Structure 1
Amino acid sequence: MTRCRRTASLPHPNFRAYWASRLSGTVAITAMALIVGWQVYGLARATMGIREAAFLLGMIGAAQFVPLFLLTPVVGLVADSVDRRCIVRVTTLVMLLTAGTLGVLTATHTLTLPALFTAAVVFGIVRAFSGPAYSALAPNLVPRESLPTAIAVSSIAWQVGSIAGPSLGGLLFAVHPDFAYGVVVSLLSVALVAMFLIGPVPQPPSQPDQHPLTRIAQGFAYVRHNRLVLATITLDLFAVLLAGSTALLPVFARDILHVGPQGLGILAASMGAGATVTALFFSVRPMKTNVGVKMLIAVMVFGAAILVFGLSRNLWLSAAALAVAGCGDMVSVYVRQSLIQLHTPDAMRGRVSAVSQLTISASNELGEAESGLLASLLGPVGAVMFGGIGAIVVTILWVRLFPELRLAKTFDQPDIALTKTPAGVAQS
């Protein structure tokens, strides 16, 4: 019983506030992402064919990725130099104001594609700063022995939000678009208030003797020299970049499965449902053995499930395939985040998290652009099938390129994970 209390994360008040903020914020953000995607595709389809509209839908991802890519070297340093709570508070407020603006434009029937793309750029900037700050803040809220459980519990907040958000967004938008945006603004307000409830947390020690460019370079060098972290980050990057199908869900819902916004909500929530079940399991029984092999198998399953989704013409089979894909993706997320948080010194967590976020955004937002481009060339079904096969091929290649990954038995393996330490970077 004492051991359970020591490794639990929710008994810590600061972590509870963090968890509430992440849950409500994720519900709002994923709901708004679905609403924006549906609006972009709907406006585009009024004047374009399916393939052209699908391409434009994919470009929403590119609009978010470009600012995040350009800001990555800076935002990690900011997260290691400025109070991480303040960063999240400011970015949440900006997202709240942006959602409110889109709501007003929708209510007054003045919403345009340029306005939606401008909002996507703002989201990219906001996420560039909030992502590393959020990731680096969590380890400051619990003792080290509680960190693996905290990662799983934090992932539950994200995945539950990923379920509730798209479902809520699709259903509320079907009732009335104004009501949907009103709920999004309310949830972002809750996230902002919860973040203000987090008390003072330890800050990384200042490093006035080091040039900012040197500190930025250390984050990239740390990831490059930690072969195990590098393997997990890049495997997730290329697998999801190829097989990420979420950008095309409005296309499948409207023109392939013919299930409308309600069906879109079910499809969008399915992957999060599978991931949540997996995260709940890890929160009770954290992964301890054969972490590398389990991640490789999970990514293979992810690719196969996406392939089934591309072939399906039945709503419930498609939803089941996405749920299985969510399970595989959650295993990958759990392994990657555990390695990053457990092997990275606190003074560098912001910069390393920024590098991780860049790869995640490349796989998600840039993956949306890739999906849109392939859909314009191969059609939406062909694009999804190509991605599923690609994820499987990438996993097979990574078995050969990174033997450290398949040899990794537990998370604490400095002899395998760190083959070389760059100058100026402390090992954890």
Structure 2
Amino acid sequence: MIEPDVSAGADRALLHHPGLIAFLSCRTLSSLGFQIQAVAIGWQAYSITHRPMTLGLIGLAQFMPMLALVFVSGQVADRFDRRRVAMACQALEALCGLGLAWGTFRHLLTPGMIYGIVALFGAAKAFEGPSLQAMLPSLVPAQVFPKAAALNSSLFQMATIVGPSAGGLLYMAGAGKAYLACTAMFVLAAFGMSLVRLESPPRPRGPVTLASVFGGLAFIRSRPQLLGAISLDLFAVLLGGATALLPVYALDILHGSPFWLGVLRGSPAIGALMVSLLLARRPIRRHAGMLMFVAVFVFGLATIVFGISRWLPLSILSMAILGAADVVSVLVRSTLVQIGTPEDMRGRVSAVNLLFIVTSNQLGEFESGSVAALLGTTEAVVVGGVGTLVVAGLWMWWFPALRRLDRLT
């Protein structure tokens, strides 16, 4: 259950930790740039081909580098300065944004070029993600980490609300301008990361061995609650994600503009932000596992409603409910990963966790595009929502330890 947080002064003290404000600003800017870029790429690519499979291939292009680099990126996050790794990745992301802008202004951008730039962007995200995820627990004490995680989630959701809408408006002014805007966000994020100061010094690193390379995977497998939470999110979002098909809904089904694509893409973040703010004030104290399963069931039902809706307000509402449900699952999973992992393994565990997240999102986009090409767009979304409900039921049976999970701390 969600109970009031009675820790006096916890909210004021949270922002007094060195580096936390800079870190949150940096991650928010990076998320904002990513959302602007995603809307622009999705609309531009679909406008060129008018094929749902194009949207699926964009997700696949971003997923493959993550799959190839997952164990390397985890080692890098544990053995090198995580701030410098994140800064280098954000610089590469800025170059990708410039490449998209240049190709657009010169009228040279093709689907093949988009796939290539997205793949390079995915490689940068493969290293940036574990470094950022492993960094947050080093910025605050463990007893206030759930609040820091909820605040981080709230800012991420704000970026996910503002970014798509801004991306849609910028795209209407010109796709190249949208790409230049996201490039500026990545540059500012890199600058902000240079201001981050960690409270926990890095620990000594041993030699690289086969066991250390796969240590993150072994750690997750040894903890049923953690394995169940990560894999539940993987398959639920993999099947139920409708984000990749939003350009099809906005253009062909709901007959909207790039702005309404931005609104649809930002709607899940509106619901997620409301729940994140609630959880920042009233953290989950009891029955965390059961709340997670209820949230996944709601996620699946909201996906089905969105799939069959032909009324824009209902579509926006169902996407908002979908996002509100998803953030509960994300908070439970991220807290289990980051608090329950030793400092010297956080990079590798975060890399494996990120692989599961990217698999559910980017590979889920490929799955959505492929099924839509075979069955139709509406059928693909509805079948995915039903699949999410089935997965939630199976995981309740297969992972009783996760179902009985009570407290997160």
TM-score normalised to structure 2 length:
0.96
Deviation of the 1:284 alpha carbon: 1.1
Q: Deviations along 1:292-312, whole A, 9 cap, x unmatched?
A: 000000000000000000010
- Alignment of structure 1 residues 21-420 onto 2, 5 Å: 21-45=26-50, 53-208=51-206, 210-412=207-409
Rounded Cα–Cα distance in structure 2 between residues aligned with 1:17 and 1:122: 26
Q: Deviations along 1:115-143, whole A, 9 cap, x unmatched?
A: 10011101110111000000000111112
Q: Deviations along 1:30-82, whole A, 9 cap, x unmatched?
A: 1101111111111112xxxxxxx101211111111111001111111110000
Contact kept, 8 Å, 1:249 with 1:267, in 2: the verdict is yes
Contact kept, 8 Å, 2:138 with 2:198, in 1: the verdict is no
Q: Letter of the aligned partner of 2:294 in structure 1?
A: I
Deviation of the 1:6 alpha carbon: 7.6
Rounded Cα–Cα distance in structure 1 between residues aligned with 2:387 and 2:28: 32
Deviation of the 1:172 alpha carbon: 1.1
Unpaired stretches in structure 1, ≥5 consecutive residues: 46-52, 413-428
Give the number of equivalent residue pairs: 404
Runs of 4+ in 1 over 4 A off after TM superposition: none
Q: Letter of the aligned partner of 1:359 in structure 2?
A: F
Contact kept, 8 Å, 1:8 with 1:150, in 2: the verdict is no
Q: Deviations along 1:189-230, whole A, 9 cap, x unmatched?
A: 22111111113553432233x433221222111100111000
Name the CA shift for 1:131/1:139 in 2 (closer, same or farther; >3 Å). same
Q: Secondary structure at the match of 2:14?
A: coil
Rounded Cα–Cα distance in structure 1 between residues aligned with 2:179 and 2:315: 28
Q: Letter of the aligned partner of 2:345 in structure 1?
A: M
Percent identical pairs in the alignment equals 40
Contact kept, 8 Å, 1:245 with 1:384, in 2: the verdict is yes
TM-score normalised to structure 1 length:
0.92
Contact kept, 8 Å, 1:7 with 1:149, in 2: the verdict is no
Deviation of the 1:335 alpha carbon: 0.3
Name the CA shift for 1:139/1:377 in 2 (closer, same or farther; >3 Å). same
Rounded Cα–Cα distance in structure 2 between residues aligned with 1:290 and 1:5: 23
Rounded Cα–Cα distance in structure 2 between residues aligned with 1:259 and 1:311: 17
Contact kept, 8 Å, 2:18 with 2:198, in 1: the verdict is no
Rounded Cα–Cα distance in structure 2 between residues aligned with 1:324 and 1:298: 10
Q: Deviations along 1:242-288, whole A, 9 cap, x unmatched?
A: 00110000010011110121110110010111111111111111111
Rounded Cα–Cα distance in structure 2 between residues aligned with 1:162 and 1:212: 39
Q: Secondary structure at the match of 2:19?
A: helix
Rounded Cα–Cα distance in structure 2 between residues aligned with 1:305 and 1:152: 23
Let me know the Cα RMSD of the aligned residues: 1.4
Q: Secondary structure at the match of 1:197?
A: coil
Q: Secondary structure at the match of 1:80?
A: helix
Contact kept, 8 Å, 2:137 with 2:339, in 1: the verdict is no
Rounded Cα–Cα distance in structure 1 between residues aligned with 2:13 and 2:321: 28
Contact kept, 8 Å, 2:44 with 2:175, in 1: the verdict is no
Rounded Cα–Cα distance in structure 2 between residues aligned with 1:201 and 1:41: 46
Deviation of the 1:105 alpha carbon: 1.3
Rounded Cα–Cα distance in structure 2 between residues aligned with 1:125 and 1:158: 21
